[in-house]
Structure 1
């Protein structure tokens, strides 16, 4: 069986991107209207942090690859492309499955250009459609059934994006949310960890935490 993730093409790109991402903490953000990331709009934050990679961890990427290989989803959705690190893991798995497509969404024009170049360099560009703009708009028309979702964009939007996608999730679809240790993920975690909302959910101990939620499609109501 092939393992595109370990190919020299993909490893070379990933190694370069992770090395660049190591400098995120030393990279100043761009100008922000009002001067505060906390009060900036999603687009203002995307523009201000255009030079920041904000990646998943390598171990988290391996987990994503394994989940896509195991589940063999025909449609994978990613909220938050950035420079395409997580996208490379998803696309490598789709390539090795022999079928499927990744739909990713990103607000930063700088990052979209870079991510497309990175995917092409790795030989995976044909498997990924990067949608430019607000995820609540760009993901509205992605066709279902959706078999796997990665939520790694702005944290306060993870729950609204999930709710947008829910009608198109296949039974048994996996929803993976990154950075669950951030306080802004509290509402999302409350939602997927409540059995009444139709998920079986477990935290996975990678850097900054990932929540893996299986969409059972079975909601419960109080009698």
Structure 2
């Protein structure tokens, strides 16, 4: 049965996807700057860089099917993926910690969480994730990697002590060069197994039983 809170989240997500329709133009403008210098996170301060609706729905199912509670997200942006996480943890009684480097994006995401009525489920940490998460010492059921790709490996390694036998790491943009390098490194570790999804755009990392 769909609750009023779930309807509120769904409505907010739909509105945000509508707002994000012009993202391609913003991303193209940011990419054009890379002709003269390497792209930086601030180049995307106005871009949603969102996961797809299909990915979001898959995340919700992943959380509910595996009864995942404690989620950590790297790369809040404007909060679309976080709202999908919220849809899942409402069912499991869980909580989300999400991180965003750019303060203006984090503020907008917080507004979106309030509009969706899920602020109490989400802790937003603003700043470099290597700093905002460095003292994290609680078990992680789900780690969503969807931020700056060069940080996937060091962030993974920093949070690794918090993984357990049922932890799932959800890697977005798995088809990008930097992410492929990260996945090759993880794939060399016999502890982990990798499962591609969405034609290789996503990879799930789990602990071998």
- The alignment's TM-score, normalised by the length of structure 1, stands at 0.84
In the alignment, structure 1 residue 215 sits paired with structure 2 residue 169: no
Q: 1:59 to 1:3 in 2, by over 3 A?
A: farther
Aligned mates of 2:97, 2:36 — CA distance in 1 = 32
Equivalent positions of 1:43-58 (< 5 A) are: 45-58=40-53
Are 1:200 and 2:193 an aligned pair?
A: yes
CA contact (8 A) 1:4 1:93 kept: no
**Within-5 A mapping of 1:1-223:** 2=2, 7-27=6-26, 28-29=29-30, 36=37, 38=38, 45-97=40-92, 99-196=93-190, 198-205=191-198, 209-216=201-208
User: Could you give the per-residue CA deviations for residues 183-214 of structure 1, whole angstroms, max 9, x where no partner exists?
Assistant: 11122111232342x111110016x7110111
Give the structure with the larger helix fraction. Answer: 2
Q: Describe the SS at the equivalent of 2:167.
A: strand
Number of matched residues?
Answer: 206
Measure the CA separation in 2 of the matches of 1:113 and 1:58: 23
SS at match of 1:172: coil
Q: Please provide the CA RMSD for this pair.
A: 2.3
Q: CA deviation at 1:159?
A: 1.2
1:142 to partner: Cα distance? 2.4
Q: Could you tell which deviates more after superposition, 149-158 or 184-193? A: 184-193
Note closer, same or farther for the CA distance 1:75–1:16 as it changes in structure 2 (3 Å cut).
same
Q: Is the Cα contact below 8 Å between 1:151 and 1:178 reproduced in 2?
A: yes
In structure 2, relative to structure 1, the CA distance for the partners of 1:65 and 1:156 (3 Å cut) is same
1:51 & 1:157 partners in 2: Cα distance? 21
For residue 179 of structure 1, give the secondary structure of its aligned residue in structure 2: coil
Displacement of 1:52 in angstroms is: 0.3
Contiguous gaps of at least 5 residues in structure 1: 219-223
Rounded to whole Å, the distance in 2 between the matches of 1:4 and 1:179 is: 32
